[in-house]
Amino acid sequence: MMKRILLGVICLSGWRIFSSCLLHQYHYVADPMNWTEAQTYCRETYTDLATIESTEEMNQLISKVSPSGLNSEVWIGLYKYIDWRWSDNYTGPGADYRNWRSGSPGNYLCGMSDTSTKQWWGWDCSSSYPFVCNNGTQKDPKFVYVSSAMSWTSAQKYCREKFTDLATVRSDAENQAMHAVALSAYPWFGLHIDPNSYWSDASNSLFRHWEGASLPVGSMSVVCGVAALQNSGKWKFFQCETRLPFVCYSVPPPPVKRQIVKLRIKRGGSSVDLNDPAVKADILKQLQVRLTEKRMSGVTLKWREQPDGKVFHKEEESSRRNKRKKSEL
């Protein structure tokens, strides 16, 4: 019976070990470009402008740039639309009404009003002030003043829970009506900039490393992100046309595992030659199907031939050959 048992050796390669913890590899480019040019260069040469998903990756990026001696800003993959919108998402007639004072909205994200002039300005959303809610509908607003000082976000939450939402103001008449109920000098109302920032590669990374709350808003419709190396790589926004060095990223290929497996096949009384190329190919095909059924993708199988050109040998022959090798040592 032992003469009918053959041994073969099969090689498994391309067995990739995937991990969500694989770090980005960063590439510093010293040639100054604007953000769009840097994005194009990174996409053509690597993967994209740098996306940063953890403190570890932030430190890795800083370490990559540090040998250059640069101690200022570098472009990364962040950008942000400067899109002033209403808290209740109103987009109908009058949605673009604005009553900014001269020099406003400034560099902040949330709308505040000056009751003495009835004009608006942008302010730091984290500051605490009273606010004006709407207790009616979008078509027929009824303004309600709340004297409790809160951040803009907390005020929004309060208005949505107690009333309808923060006040939307669509005309001079509604602006007058809002100020008629406002008792404090500087109340919040519903105008704000879309708080979301985006990555060039469309990543949904939630990691944040901001320097502060201000934005270079002005008349721009979009601003672009930098890492300030002089401040521990903290992020902020610049005008996208500014020419700066930048950091690209690429993703290292996952490690590949190779394994050699001995295969024992009981041939029984069959006269099939297991070393026949067609037979070996059929065995590999069947094994590949089994691996697919086990959800093991990306695995390549191939036979490993012995010095005599064969894959399979009778087990007793294999044992004698191994004994000869040991005696020769």
Locus of tokens 């026949």: 276
- 175 pairs with which residues across the strands? none
Does domain 25-77+197-250 fall under CATH 3.40.50.150? My reply is no
Q: What are 196-233's pLDDT values in tens digits?
A: 889 999 999 889 998 875 566 665 789 999 999 999 99
143, 170 contact by CB (below 8 A)? no
For position 175, what pLDDT does the model report?
Answer: 97
Mean pLDDT of 175-189: 94
Q: What are 42-88's pLDDT values in tens digits?
A: 999 999 999 999 999 999 999 999 999 999 999 999 999 888 899 99
pTM beyond cutoff 0.85: no
- Residue spans per domain, the chain: 2-18+261-328, 25-77+197-250, 84-193
Respond yes or no on whether the N-terminal peptide bond of residue 105 is cis (omega within 30° of 0). Answer: yes
Mean of the per-residue pLDDT values for the chain?
Answer: 83
